[in-house]
Amino acid sequence: MKALVTGISGFVGSHMAEFLLRQGAEVVGTIRNRSRMDHISHLLKDIRLEECELRDPFSVESLIDRERPDLIFHLAAQSFVPTSWNSPIDTIHNNVAGQVNLFEAVRRFGLKAKIQIACSSEEYGQVEPEETPIKETNPLRPLSPYAISKVAQDYLGYQYHRSYGLHVVRTITFNHTGPRRGEQFVTSNFAKQIVDIEKGRKPPVLHVGNLQAKRDFTDVRDVVRGYWLALEKGQPGENYNIASGTCYTIAEMLEMLLSFSDVRIEVKTDPSRLRPSDVEILLGDSAKFRAATGWQPEIPFERTLKDLLQYWRSQP
C-alpha cells in the first residue's frame, strides 16, 4: 500500500507520516525546495520525499505518473487565516490550483487512488449560537479568503467525484493542535510565549488577540487517524465533520495553558492580532463521521496542551 502525503513536512503531514508508517504503508511525501525539514528529520530513513510544486501542473503530473499511489492525503495548503487577508490571491491560487492539478493528474492517468482532502470548519464561517453543534448540512458563510479557498476545495472534491468518479473523501476538520503546531496558530503561539517567559527569554507579558472566540479542538494524532479511517471506510464524494464536540473560548484555553506553568504572567491585548472578521463559534457535530468509521477522539484536550507545552520546552 503506497500512500502519498502532500505537505508532508508540515504539522499535520508529519503526524500523518508517522501514523502511516505504523500501519505498514510505504510513504512518499511532497516537499518544495523551501520546505522546512525539522518536523520530519526523524522520519527520513523511513519515508521518501519528492520535490513537487503543486501549483505547477507539469510537476504534479510527473509525480503522479511516477508514483501511482493507492492513497493520497492532500494536506498541503496555505493554512493560516490571517495570511489570507494579506495575500488573498496567493492563498486561493495555492489551495485551489494545487488541488485541481492533483485531481487532473489522477484523472488523466486513470488512477484508482483514494483521495482525502483537508477541508475546514472555517467554511461554516458566521454561525449563530442556535445553529450549533454544526452539522455538514449547516449553511456555509465563509468569512476569510482562506475559508473561500477551502469551500472551493471542498466543492471541487464533490464535483470531481460526480463528474469523473474520483474516489474523493472530504474531511471537514475543526481546530486541531498538538506537538509541532506552527507557532502562528493560537494554541502554539500562547504555549511558546509561556515557555519563552519560563526560560527568561521574554518579559512576563503574554500578547493575545480575540479571547472570546470559541473553538472545538481535537488532537492532531486523533485527526490523522481520522484521515486514514476516512479512506478506509468513508463514502466517496461525501463530506464528514471531524470534531471533538466540545468547545472552549480562547480565554479558557489560555487559562488551561497557564495552569500548567508556575510563572506569573500578565495578559495583554495586541490590536495587530485582531482580525477584520473572526469566526465567533465553531462547535462541531461529527456524528456522521463517527457512524461511518467508528472514529472517536481519544486524547483529552488537557493532555494535548501539556504535550504542546512540553514540545516548546524541549526546543533549543
Ligand X SMILES: Nc1nc2c(ncn2[C@@H]2O[C@H](COP(=O)(O)OP(=O)(O)O[C@H]3O[C@H](CO)[C@@H](O)[C@H](O)[C@@H]3O)[C@@H](O)[C@H]2O)c(=O)[nH]1
* CA-based R_g, the chain, Å: 19
How near is the Cβ of 149 to ligand X at its closest, in Å? 10
Cβ neighbourhood burial of 314 (10 Å; 0-12, 13-18, 19+) = exposed
Q: Does 250 bind ligand X (CB under 6 A)?
A: yes
Q: Which is nearer to ligand X, 103 or 217 (CB)?
A: 217
How near is the Cβ of 140 to ligand X at its closest, in Å? 13
| Axis-axis angle for helices 11-22, 220-233 (nearest 10) | 60
| Axis-axis angle for helices 301-313, 250-259 (nearest 10) | 60
Q: Does 158 bind ligand X (CB under 6 A)?
A: no
Q: Does 191 bind ligand X (CB under 6 A)?
A: no
What's the CA gap between 308 and 9, in Å, rounded? 18
Q: Find the part of the chain contacting ligand X (CB under 6 A) among 22-30, 54-62, 86-94, 182-190.
A: 182-190
Buried b (16+ CB within 10 A) or exposed e, 176-199: bbbbbbeeebbbbbbbbbbbebbe
Q: Which of residues 113-142 bind ligand X (CB under 6 A)?
A: 120-122
Q: Does 39 bind ligand X (CB under 6 A)?
A: no
How near is the Cβ of 16 to ligand X at its closest, in Å? 15
Q: Which of residues 273-312 bind ligand X (CB under 6 A)?
A: 273, 275, 278, 282
Residue selected from 160, 174, 217, 227 as contacting ligand X according to rule CB under 6 A? 174
| Axis-axis angle for helices 98-108, 57-67 (nearest 10) | 40
Q: Which is nearer to ligand X, 24 or 271 (CB)?
A: 271
Contacts of 99 (CB under 8 A, 6+ apart): 54, 74, 117, 153, 156, 157
How near is the Cβ of 186 to ligand X at its closest, in Å? 3
Q: Interior CA angle at 135 toward 208 and 128, to 5°?
A: 55
Give the three cell numbers for residue 170. 472530504
Q: Indicate the SS3 state at residue 267.
A: strand
Q: Which of residues 207-226 bind ligand X (CB under 6 A)?
A: 208-211, 213, 215
Residue selected from 185, 204, 236, 260 as contacting ligand X according to rule CB under 6 A? 185
Q: Find the part of the chain contacting ligand X (CB under 6 A) among 183-191, 241-249, 258-266, 287-295.
A: 183-191
Residue selected from 16, 20, 81, 247 as contacting ligand X according to rule CB under 6 A? 81
Q: Which is nearer to ligand X, 169 or 186 (CB)?
A: 186
Q: Which is nearer to ligand X, 58 or 80 (CB)?
A: 80
Q: Which is nearer to ligand X, 57 or 245 (CB)?
A: 245
Q: Which is nearer to ligand X, 23 or 184 (CB)?
A: 184
Contact 2, 28 (CB under 8 A): yes
Bridge pairing between strands 248-249 and 214-215: antiparallel
Q: Does 184 bind ligand X (CB under 6 A)?
A: yes
Contact 243, 285 (CB under 8 A): yes
Residues that bind ligand X (CB under 6 A): 79, 81, 120-122, 174-175, 184-186, 189, 208-211, 213, 215, 250, 273, 275, 278, 282
